[in-house]
């Protein structure tokens, strides 16, 4: 379905990039049918000792993927935000990198909120499912990325955010990130502008991690 969306954009001459020279350009896709579920967790007995995420999916045997795949009947419906994370930074986060994350998340979440109200009416609530955006192959900082997403969700009046942490260690990272968001929100106040928020984030000294190569 998502591949068809790209082909349709190309056919009509519309851009397909989620990031351009002006910054983040999220694309929202509403009403996508989800017809299969693929188990990506590590399972040596099923032929996937290191899991099937990312490049490991591309390198896996076809029969391994078939065993990990379950058909969904009836198909479920997903609303998807396609958005580019900042990638391959080094050292401490610079103001421009923090600004990119905040602006991109704000744009994506605001658009999702608008689409929810447009589709379901003014009383509808918006729920965002997210996780450690850009913290795998791109080496982002988990705590900071959770904090910035949380602040963007608050600024766009998202009713509920579900963070998919993966494991117990991930849950702790999410909690740390939410604590940082609470601290920044308290420091900046309800009328905080973007520049002030960035100025409060930079001294925290968050550093990029290392790509997981996947």
Domain ranges across the chain:
1-83, 85-214
* Paired sense of beta strands 23-24 and 19-20, if any: antiparallel
CB neighbourhood size of 34 (10 A):
12
Nearest partner of 209 among 127, 143, 146, 155, judged by Cα: 143
Q: What's the chain's Rg over C-alpha atoms? A: 19
Give the model's pLDDT for residue 18: 82
What's the pLDDT tens digit per position in 87-121?
888 999 999 999 999 999 999 999 999 999 999 99
DSSP 8-state secondary structure symbol assigned to residue 23 = E
Structure tokens at 124: 């509808």
Q: Do 156 and 106 meet the contact criterion of CB atoms below 8 Å apart?
A: yes
Which stretch of DSSP H or E encloses residue 81? strand 69-82
CB neighbourhood size of 22 (10 A):
6
Nearest partner of 31 among 69, 70, 5, judged by Cα: 5
Residue 48 has φ and ψ, to the nearest 5°, of -130, 70
Structure tokens at 148: 């910035």
HSE-CB of 107 using CA atoms within 13 angstroms: 18
Give the model's pLDDT for residue 213: 75
HSE-CB of 146 using CA atoms within 13 angstroms: 21
Give the model's pLDDT for residue 20: 79
Give the model's pLDDT for residue 179: 97
Regions of the chain where pLDDT drops below 50:
none
* Paired sense of beta strands 69-82 and 27-38, if any: antiparallel
Residue 199's SS3 state is: helix
Integer Cα distance of 46 and 182 in angstroms: 42
Give the model's pLDDT for residue 101: 93
């Amino acid at each position: 379905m998502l591949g068809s969306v790209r082909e349709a954009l190309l056919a009509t001459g519309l851009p397909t990039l989620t990031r351009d020279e002006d910054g983040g350009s999220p694309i929202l896709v509403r009403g996508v049918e989800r017809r299969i579920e693929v188990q990506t967790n590590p399972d040596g007995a099923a032929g996937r000792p290191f899991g099937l995420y990312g490049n490991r999916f591309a390198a896996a045997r076809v029969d391994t993927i078939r065993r990990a795949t379950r058909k969904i009947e009836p198909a479920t419906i997903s609303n998807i935000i396609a958005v580019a994370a900042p990638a391959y930074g080094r050292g401490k986060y610079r103001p421009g990198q923090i600004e990119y994350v905040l602006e991109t998340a704000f744009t994506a979440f605001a658009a999702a909120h608008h689409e929810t109200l447009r589709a379901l009416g003014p009383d509808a609530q918006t729920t965002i499912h997210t996780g450690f955006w850009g913290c795998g192959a791109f080496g982002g900082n988990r705590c900071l990325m959770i904090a910035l997403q949380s602040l963007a969700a608050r600024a766009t009046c998202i009713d509920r955010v579900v963070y998919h942490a993966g494991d117990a260690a991930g849950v702790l990272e999410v909690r740390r990130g939410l604590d940082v968001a609470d601290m920044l929100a308290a420091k900046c106040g309800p009328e905080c502008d973007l520049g002030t928020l960035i100025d409060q984030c930079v001294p925290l000294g968050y550093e990029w991690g290392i790509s997981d190569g996947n």
